[in-house]
């Protein structure tokens, strides 16, 4: 019997690629996507992805979406309490594994492992330790299409916000910037790829600077319905 799994879903390319690899492996029954949402703005934290876009991703992936609303501002204590409640609900539904799209940050992995200890959920890291230079090129070659929706201007010029994650983007990255943005240089929104049944129609919105980051808004350019 396959183990039942839920995937922590940021709306970005790394969690999307984790979904692709999990499906290729055939070792798990994927029960859904789990996303925390800034309830005040109705967006995914850091990525600033609109709820409608995350819902469109779940529909394109053919998976249920489990949203965990968080207040703004949100303390770490509240976040951890909300996640414990979500884990309890997930385990009660028969899921025993939670997967993450982390690549190489050891402290992030340890945090996830510590917080899942005793919840009944086993952490899984499908893309862990994959070389990010090769991985970025592999994603693009496989048909992953993503928009850069958040840039840390202390690590990457603001002009990269709103660009597509493509060969030109990788070529133009300054030396020292991880091509998958694992050090927080940038975050992305995936709108096409082998993990989706069809591309998500999107258009670019405004670019703003807020709280020390540059955000490039993305909007649905046509209604998306689950099939």
What does the pLDDT profile of the chain (227 residues) look like in tens digits?
678 999 999 999 999 999 999 999 999 999 999 999 999 999 998 789 999 999 999 999 999 999 999 998 899 999 999 999 999 999 999 999 999 999 988 999 999 999 999 999 999 999 999 999 999 999 999 999 999 999 999 999 999 999 999 999 999 999 999 999 999 999 999 999 999 999 999 999 999 999 999 999 999 997 655 54
Largest interatomic CA distance in the chain? 49
Q: β-strands 145-151, 213-220: how paired?
A: antiparallel
Half-sphere exposure of 153 (CA within 13 A, CB side): 12
pTM: 0.94
Calpha distance 180→134 (Å, rounded): 10
For domain 3-220, give the CATH number: 3.40.50.620
Domain-by-domain residue ranges, the chain?
A: 3-220
Instruction: Determine how β-strand 202-210 pairs with β-strand 213-220.
Output: antiparallel
Which token pair is 73? 């501002």
């Amino acid at each position: 019997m396959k183990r039942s799994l839920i995937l922590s879903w940021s709306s970005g390319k790394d969690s999307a690629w984790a979904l692709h690899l999990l499906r290729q492996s055939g070792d798990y029954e994927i029960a859904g996507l789990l996303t925390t949402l800034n309830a005040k703005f109705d967006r995914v934290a850091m990525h600033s992805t609109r709820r409608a876009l995350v819902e469109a991703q779940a529909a394109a992936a053919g998976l249920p979406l489990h949203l965990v609303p968080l207040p703004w501002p949100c303390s770490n204590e509240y976040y951890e309490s909300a996640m414990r409640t979500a884990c309890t609900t997930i385990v009660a539904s028969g899921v025993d594994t939670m997967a993450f799209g982390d690549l190489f940050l050891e402290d992030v992995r340890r945090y996830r492992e510590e917080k899942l200890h005793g919840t009944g959920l086993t952490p899984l890291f499908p893309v862990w330790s994959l070389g990010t230079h090769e991985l970025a090129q592999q994603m693009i070659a496989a048909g992953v299409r993503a928009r850069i929706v958040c840039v840390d201007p202390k690590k990457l010029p603001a002009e990269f916000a709103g660009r597509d994650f493509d060969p030109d983007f990788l070529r133009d990255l300054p030396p020292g910037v991880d091509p998958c943005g694992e050090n927080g240089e940038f975050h992305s929104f995936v709108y096409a790829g082998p993990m989706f049944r069809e591309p998500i129609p999107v258009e670019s919105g405004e670019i703003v600077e807020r709280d020390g980051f540059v955000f490039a808004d993305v909007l649905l350019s046509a209604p998306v319905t689950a099939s």
